[in-house]
Amino acid sequence: METKTQRNEQLEKIRELVKDIRIAMMTTIDDQGNLVSRPMATMQMDENGTFWFFTKKSAPKVDQIDKHEHRVNLAFAHPDEASYVSVSGSADEVYDRAKIDELWSPAAKPWFPDGKDDPELTLLKVHTELAEYWDSTSSRMVRFLEMARAAVTGDTYKEGENQKVYNS
């Protein structure tokens, strides 16, 4: 995923945590009010904290976004690094040929056989309103030892840094 330096300095930590995570779980609300998630290849986090995805115009998520006030959640996980990010925001379907050209990769062709000219190809942009992250700067061994210490002593496990970041 391409990430750009953030205009909102608080989002810079979010950019650092998600830059190597290619797949996000995007959650929307279906017609029955259920939360439904699906993996999505993140194409870019731009300088405004907006995440960009390719999708099909006829995909159920596009309709779900329109019907439910454009609310979505993105979840990013890097378990090996013990870092996790949750992004809530508003999503819109956008057809922008210049942005499609900028983001296009041959890796998208299996989903869009006609390439950038596929009539089903459109973009989803998700504007970050609130991002929350959990990040441990410790190695896996240090985290394991801290869990063992907490279990033996009865203390609470100290997980690392947790913070909410608002994007206006």
The domains of the chain are located at: 2-166
Q: What is the DSSP string of 40-76?
A: EE--EE-TTSEEEEEEETT-HHHHHHHHTTTEEEEEE
Least trusted range by pLDDT, from 49-53, 93-97, 117-121, 143-147: 143-147
Least trusted range by pLDDT, from 75-79, 80-84, 125-129: 80-84
Compute the average pLDDT of residues 12-34: 94
Please report the pLDDT score of residue 62 as a whole number: 95
Tell me the whole-structure pTM to 2 decimals: 0.83
Least trusted range by pLDDT, from 8-17, 89-98, 110-119, 158-167: 158-167
112-160: pLDDT as tens digits: 999 999 999 999 999 999 999 988 754 444 444 454 544 666 666 456 5
Backbone angles phi, psi at 33, to 5 degrees: 85, 5
Query: 2-166: which CATH architecture?
Result: Roll (2.30)
